[in-house]
């Protein structure tokens, strides 16, 4: 990651977060008064095409501003947060979630990214960041409680390669809970992760990817387990879970993207980037002398090379969200 790349990535959400249309609303109407424009429904997260992309668009900006103090867009970023992250606006966001019939709204992907955003604001040493995180409190508390209520009720994980994926959401949420010192939430997430995934073995990697995946279900699951197990115990688990990982090459070769402008096929660009992130993280989770580290590193580089050229494309269907996954794949500053 270098300052030029950081600036190019920052430009994407800076444009998208104030762009209301086109907008893909997932919106339950409880009555005629709920037929409202995106910005009226979501005064904070109305841009970037959909709600969750707006959330992780702000995450991207906070992360870049924190990691690159000389970023030329620092003032723009601070002004954007100041105009959106106000207590009244976040109270409206929380009220939207609390309305009847919306218990599953943005579960689990949007929930997880909201927690990741709160974590990033906590780490950002800009004085105003504390005020912005405080403004988030009504929605943050609501999402935290929803996780605690939902996890005991979810008997089975969702293993898709899209927004419903359980392991990816648990991963981001667990990183938040640990960073925030929230022992209750961390314990609930860890317990669920072990219940869902610890006994898995011999995963059929040949079935990945599906045609519009932007996550690898098995690599996200492996990365989650790397957060729970010591290095050598994780190595043993990974060999049982993906015994053919280096030899078969199925997960180490980038996905082919026939039409990056298509909103669903273009998800595969994100898959290449998220695989790069997972493979790099898995490499560092293994013992230093592990024989699997070199092929995983090579696979990560191949996926990064395949995905990065398509992040800035001129197509809003990709540009509204791909920068986030490019940053995950590129940033070496710290363990996610």
Mean pLDDT value across residues 134-160: 98
Mean pLDDT value across residues 111-118: 98
State the Cα–Cα distance between residues 86 and 289, nearest whole angstrom. 49
pLDDT at 335: 42
Mean pLDDT value across residues 206-214: 97
Residue written as token pair 């979501």: 42
The pLDDT-based confidence of 336 (bands split at 50, 70, 90) is very low
Q: Is residue 283 over pLDDT 60?
A: yes
Contact assessment for residue 271 and residue 329, using Cβ atoms and an 8 Å cutoff: no
Mean pLDDT value across residues 123-132: 97
User: What pTM was computed for the model?
Assistant: 0.97
Mean pLDDT value across residues 285-310: 97
pLDDT digits (tens, 9 = 90+) for 64-77: 999 999 999 999 99
* DSSP track, 47-65: -SSSHHHHHHHHHHHHHHH
User: Counting beta carbons within 10 angstroms of the beta carbon of residue 91, is it exposed (0 to 12), middle (13 to 18) or buried (19 or more)?
Assistant: middle
**In the numeric block, which tokens belong to residue 164?**
């419903």
State the Cα–Cα distance between residues 224 and 220, nearest whole angstrom. 6
pLDDT digits (tens, 9 = 90+) for 76-103: 999 999 999 999 999 999 999 999 999 9
pLDDT digits (tens, 9 = 90+) for 170-200: 999 999 999 999 999 999 999 999 999 999 9
The pLDDT-based confidence of 332 (bands split at 50, 70, 90) is low
pLDDT digits (tens, 9 = 90+) for 300-315: 999 999 999 999 999 9
Q: Is residue 331 over pLDDT 90?
A: no
Mean pLDDT value across residues 246-252: 93
**In the numeric block, which tokens belong to residue 11?**
């430009």
Residue written as token pair 């314990």: 187
State the Cα–Cα distance between residues 152 and 192, nearest whole angstrom. 8
pLDDT digits (tens, 9 = 90+) for 252-281: 999 999 999 999 999 999 999 999 999 999
pLDDT at 1: 85
């Amino acid at each position: 990651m270098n300052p030029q790349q950081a600036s190019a990535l920052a430009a994407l959400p800076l444009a998208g977060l104030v762009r209301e249309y086109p907008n893909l609303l997932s919106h339950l109407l409880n009555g005629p008064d709920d037929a409202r424009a995106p910005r009226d429904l979501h005064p904070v997260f109305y841009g970037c095409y959909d709600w969750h992309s707006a959330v992780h668009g702000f995450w991207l900006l906070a992360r870049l501003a924190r990691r690159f103090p000389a970023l030329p867009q620092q003032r723009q970023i601070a002004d954007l947060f100041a105009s959106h992250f106000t207590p009244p606006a976040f109270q409206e966001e929380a009220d939207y979630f609390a309305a009847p019939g919306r218990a599953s709204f943005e579960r689990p992907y949007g929930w997880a990214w909201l927690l990741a955003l709160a974590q990033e604001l906590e780490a950002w040493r800009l004085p105003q960041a504390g005020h912005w995180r405080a403004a988030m409190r009504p929605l943050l508390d609501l999402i935290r409680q929803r996780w605690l209520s939902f996890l005991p009720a979810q008997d089975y994980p969702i293993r898709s390669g899209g927004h419903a994926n359980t392991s990816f959401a648990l991963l981001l949420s667990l990183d938040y809970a640990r960073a925030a010192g929230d022992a209750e939430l961390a314990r609930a997430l860890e317990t669920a992760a072990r219940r869902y995934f610890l006994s898995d073995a011999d995963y059929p990697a040949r079935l990945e990817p599906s045609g519009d995946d932007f996550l690898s279900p098995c690599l996200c699951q492996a990365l989650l387990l790397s957060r729970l197990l010591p290095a050598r115990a994780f190595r043993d688990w990974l060999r049982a879970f993906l015994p053919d990982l280096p030899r078969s090459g199925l997960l180490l070769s980038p996905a082919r993207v026939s039409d990056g402008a298509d909103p669903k096929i273009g998800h595969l660009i994100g898959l290449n980037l998220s695989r790069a992130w997972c493979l790099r993280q898995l490499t560092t989770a293994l013992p230093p002398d592990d024989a699997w580290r070199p092929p995983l590193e090579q696979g990560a580089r191949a996926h990064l090379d395949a995905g990065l050229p398509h992040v800035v494309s001129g197509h809003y269907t990709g540009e509204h969200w791909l920068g986030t996954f490019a940053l995950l794949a590129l940033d070496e500053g710290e363990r996610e």
